[in-house]
């Protein structure tokens, strides 16, 4: 990771901590694996609150919209999940990851 990417990770984690301490229900999405062409590297984060507000990035475009939707479910259930998007998956075309790559994103509640 570059120095800029490290700072972005630190900023998103700080936001997750700040939102959680202020009483907001929060989930954290983390890119845990990439293959081929992927817009964000492993270790990239997206913090999401129960209202669907978010900061950071795990992919961009419609993939992030799908991650935000799943994160709200994770906040409601308290159960983490792993999401996968790639060209072999019909979902990839629907959410816009048609670049030839695959990403896996782990989404967990923050307490």
Highest mean pLDDT among 17-21, 59-63, 96-100: 17-21
Sheet harboring 102-110: ordered strands across? 54-56, 45-49, 26-35, 102-110, 81-86
Domain ranges of the chain: 3-110
In the predicted model, what is the mean pLDDT of residues 56-66?
A: 86
In the predicted model, what is the mean pLDDT of residues 64-81?
A: 96
By three-state DSSP, how is residue 91 classified? Answer: helix
12 within 8 A of 56, measured Cβ to Cβ: yes
30 within 8 A of 109, measured Cβ to Cβ: no
Question: What is the DSSP track for 18-44?
Answer: HHHHTT--EEEEEEEEEESS-SS-TT-
pLDDT at residue 9, rounded to an integer:
59
Beta-bridged to residue 83, according to DSSP, are: 105
pLDDT at residue 86, rounded to an integer:
77
């Amino acid at each position: 990771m570059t120095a800029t990417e490290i700072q972005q990770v630190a900023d998103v984690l700080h936001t997750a901590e700040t939102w959680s301490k202020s009483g907001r229900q929060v989930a954290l999405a983390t890119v845990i694996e990439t293959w081929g062409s992927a817009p964000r590297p492993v270790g990239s984060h997206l913090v999401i609150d129960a209202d669907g507000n978010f900061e950071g990035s795990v992919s961009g475009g419609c993939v992030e919209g799908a991650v935000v939707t799943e994160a709200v479910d994770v906040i409601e259930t308290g159960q983490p999940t792993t999401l996968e998007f790639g060209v072999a998956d019909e979902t990839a075309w629907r959410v816009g990851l048609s670049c030839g790559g695959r990403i896996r994103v782990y989404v967990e509640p923050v307490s």
